[in-house]
Amino acid sequence: MLDAIYRAAHDRIATLAGELTDDQLRIPVPATPGWSVHEVLAHLVGGAADVLAQRLDGVPGDSWTARHVAERRHRPVAELLDEWQNASPAVESSLPEKHTGPNLAADVICHEADLREALGLSRTDREHWQPFLDVMGYYPGRRLRDTGTLVISDELGQQWRCGSGESVTELRADGYELLRGVFSRRSRRQIAAWDWSPEPSAQLVDGFGAFGPRDDDQPIPAA
């Protein structure tokens, strides 16, 4: 399943990137560490190329991703897309059959949304990101299991329940927004503004994202 998800996301991003102007490629991507659209593409290509070359020292740390950008910052998009096309089969074959943790399929889905939000585009269809929500919806509750019970519900009625404490906190939110929050793509203020009952503790808000809390509000795309 993950190989097909990665392949489809690669194809969507490649098509989008091939249509962008130079000005659009220079647009900052708020969700990332100061990268432009072009530099997010450089990271995605670099990750795939490293899998092909088995150059995996430092995975998945900041120095690993920064090297992808540094090595490709000045290369034209067409050249990046050719490199990605060549490396993608290696990534696909390396992916597990099920989403069991961080991997490049989750990375490409996350960064696809980063790019679309930065460019002011609508979100992708739910079928593309739902498999990651299915699994990652449990993340906040598992991380905070000692503080009580957390029950999360999305707009379709899907539910994630974690913890065994007597104190119960309920959260109702849009599924896309939940996933972006778990990917640390929503700010403390944005997460706290969701439909919580009772109001969440600072610890719960700060622990919601897998990559830590953030204070900069992120653009929210149209459904």
The per-residue pLDDT for range 10-59, each reduced to its tens digit, is 999 999 999 999 999 999 999 998 999 999 999 999 999 998 888 877 66
6-34 burial: b if 16+ Cβ within 10 Å, else e: bbbbbebbbebbeebeeebbebebbbbee
Q: Is the pLDDT of residue 128 over 80?
A: yes
Q: Is the pLDDT of residue 82 over 80?
A: yes
- Looking at domain 128-207, its CATH class is alpha beta
pTM for the model: 0.93
Q: What is the pLDDT of residue 54?
A: 84
Q: What is the pLDDT of residue 46?
A: 94
Same fold for the pair 2-119 and 128-207? no
Residue 77: closest CA among 146, 138, 26: 26
Residues 109 and 128: their CA atoms lie apart, in Å, by 8
Residues 194 and 154: their CA atoms lie apart, in Å, by 11
Q: Name the pLDDT band for 164 (thresholds 50, 70, 90).
A: confident
Which CATH number is 2-119 given? 1.20.120.450
Domain ranges of the chain: 2-119, 128-207
In DSSP terms, which residues pair with 149 in a beta bridge? 168
